[in-house]
Amino acid sequence: MLVPDIAVVPRPASATVLPGGPFVLTAGTAVLVDPQPELVTVAVLAADLIGRLVDGPVEVRHHEPGAVGVIRLRLSDQLPAGEEAYRLVVGRSGVLVEARTPAGLVHGIVTLRQLAVPAPEGALHVPAVRVEDAPRYAWRGLSLDLARHFFGLADLQLVVGLLAHYKLNVLHLHLSDDQGWRLEIPSRPLLTQRSSGSAVGGGPGGFLTAAQFAELVAYAQVRGITVVPEIDVPGHVNAALHAYGELVPDGRAPEPYTGTQVGFSRLHDAVPATAAFLADVLGGVASMTPGPWVHIGGDEALALDREEYVALVRRAADVVRAHGKGVVGWQEIAHAGLGEDTVVQYWDDRAGAQADRDALVAAARAGARVLMSPGQHTYLDMVYDTATRLGDPEGPALGQDWAGPVELRDAYEWEPSTLVPGLPPEQVIGVEAALWTETLATLPGLTQMLLPRLAAVAEVAWTAPDRRDWAGFRQRVAGQGTFWDRLGVSWYPSPQVDWQR
């Protein structure tokens, strides 16, 4: 018998449709939890998410033995290995979500939310199912460029909600570049005072205060998401040089830069102010970050020779490590031989980047972990196709094309473990989509590039390869459009999918 697949994205490790059911979800449905302090935030989150589905407040109550018609959340160690594993059992009389950690419970709640379908009289029906699920990769992220154009706290919270909905667990923020500085560093106030008001094309810019950053980190953490801040050095530093002219050999600060060229700006290892700058900035960012990682950039430092590049990357890495954090950097840092506790992020999959690929393989063989962000599959700032023009008809078109058009199927159909020949597959820590914002200045523009492709990358990161296929994905993702519509976010109706309307 052909069992219909449940329409969950990313596809769970196992899902069985049960006889009987469905569970009827209404504003009268309560969330029930054991009285453990670590369950309070996840219970409130669950009640909020379900309350928004049913259009009314949902109560949180403590465990009542024998209660029916409730959603029960429980921590349990009787689950498959892995911090993020969860089990979801739905029947007519109730829902049980179990996980080892609050983050696992969030995944179960998200699956429940995706399974709910509108039923007569405003109710929602959840089919009777048993889902046992756990991710393939530990690192499933989105890298978002706040430097070329700035997006503030409310926009970032919306993005965090989308990440959680597709079980992604890392938000990597690109917080500095030639065009602007986007995070307040208390020990270096001129960075934001002088260099936050610029952006590509002369836009207004902006920055996150330290308090807003802390609020975002907490908002993400409740949803099981770690924020990884990136300060891009030793290239991509015009905004820093503009704020602190002492970083330039002749002491003359450059003008703000609002174009989109890359690779022209640089730190100088021999300039005395450089070491203090790296210590203050990366040390400051590390101490503002509860998560285990700080990203030091390291890409496209085209104005530096290899020796000075390596010296500066090692300096930056030393600061991050001295603050007890692991180092993440773009693929070029593989040339610096940083060793085991490093994550190297692969991005440039063009033929010309073979030297980087060789260094990446060598670094991985020496114990570094590799994060997969290949441009041709995960760069969501690429156009979907060359014929479609997205964006305001009066304004500039959205998207770049240096890595090729990236249609939904391109974002979906690739295999992280075999993409780079010679790379030991067990060194791949995960997958991260990237959204650069040279051409993206508004939230609708941003979400049109993210959706639907973010869902495809999320499935590559979460679902085991033997559970993935394009034909199944295009059917399961077809229902997501109505969810984005309900949220009121813009998305691109890729012609590769027969969207449910």
Q: Annotated catalytic sites, by residue? A: 300
Helix (H, G, I), strand (E, B), or coil: what is residue 235?
A: strand
How far is it, in rounded angstroms, from Cα 131 to Cα 12? 7
Q: Which residues, 95 to 114, sit near ligand TNX by CB under 6 A?
A: none
Nearest partner of 210 among 183, 189, 228, judged by Cα? 183
Q: Which residues, 33 to 62, sit near ligand TNX by CB under 6 A?
A: none
Give the residue with the Cβ less far from ligand TNX, 80 or 259. 259
How far is it, in rounded angstroms, from Cα 145 to Cα 200? 12
How far is it, in rounded angstroms, from Cα 428 to Cα 424? 8
Q: Which residues, 428 to 447, sit near ligand TNX by CB under 6 A?
A: 436, 438
List beta partners, residue 144.
173, 435
Centroid of chain to Cα 108: 19
Residue 283's Cβ-side half-sphere holds a number of Cα atoms within 13 Å equal to 13
Nearest partner of 284 among 184, 156, 375, judged by Cα? 184
Give the residue with the Cβ less far from ligand TNX, 49 or 144. 144
For residue 158, state whether it binds ligand TNX (rule: CB under 6 A): no
Q: Which of 257, 347, 384, 462 binds ligand TNX (CB under 6 A)?
A: 347
CB of 147 to ligand TNX, least distance (A): 9
Give the residue with the Cβ less far from ligand TNX, 356 or 459. 356
For residue 262, state whether it binds ligand TNX (rule: CB under 6 A): yes
Q: Would you report the helix, strand and coil content of the chain in percent, each value rounded to 5?
A: 35, 20, 45
Give the residue with the Cβ less far from ligand TNX, 166 or 347. 347
Nearest partner of 163 among 454, 478, 435, judged by Cα? 454
For residue 330, state whether it binds ligand TNX (rule: CB under 6 A): yes
Residue 208, φ and ψ in degrees, nearest 5: -90, 130
CB of 432 to ligand TNX, least distance (A): 11
Give the residue with the Cβ less far from ligand TNX, 84 or 232. 232
Angle between helices 40-54 and 102-115 (to 10 degrees): 10
For residue 300, state whether it binds ligand TNX (rule: CB under 6 A): yes
For residue 277, state whether it binds ligand TNX (rule: CB under 6 A): no
CB of 262 to ligand TNX, least distance (A): 5
Region class of 14: left (phi > 0), else alpha (psi between -120 and 50), else beta: beta
Q: Which of 388, 400, 482, 490 binds ligand TNX (CB under 6 A)?
A: 400
Give the residue with the Cβ less far from ligand TNX, 330 or 484. 330
CB of 449 to ligand TNX, least distance (A): 11
Q: Where are the alpha helices (DSSP H) in 122-199?
A: 153-165, 190-195
CB of 378 to ligand TNX, least distance (A): 10
Residues touching ligand TNX: how many (CB under 6 A)? 11
CB of 164 to ligand TNX, least distance (A): 25
Give the residue with the Cβ less far from ligand TNX, 410 or 438. 438
For residue 473, state whether it binds ligand TNX (rule: CB under 6 A): no
Give the residue with the Cβ less far from ligand TNX, 53 or 398. 398
Residue 31, φ and ψ in degrees, nearest 5: -100, 130
For residue 484, state whether it binds ligand TNX (rule: CB under 6 A): no
For residue 299, state whether it binds ligand TNX (rule: CB under 6 A): yes
Residues with Cβ within 8 Å of 232's Cβ and at least 6 positions away in sequence, in order, are 147, 174, 176, 177, 296, 297, 298, 299
How far is it, in rounded angstroms, from Cα 394 to Cα 383? 18
For residue 213, state whether it binds ligand TNX (rule: CB under 6 A): no
For residue 303, state whether it binds ligand TNX (rule: CB under 6 A): no
CB of 376 to ligand TNX, least distance (A): 11
For residue 381, state whether it binds ligand TNX (rule: CB under 6 A): yes
For residue 379, state whether it binds ligand TNX (rule: CB under 6 A): yes
Token pair for residue 462? 């979460």
Helix (H, G, I), strand (E, B), or coil: what is residue 221?
A: helix
How far is it, in rounded angstroms, from Cα 154 to Cα 357? 38
CB of 391 to ligand TNX, least distance (A): 16
How far is it, in rounded angstroms, from Cα 221 to Cα 216? 8
**Interface residue list for ligand TNX (CB under 6 A):** 145, 262, 299-300, 330, 347, 379, 381, 400, 436, 438
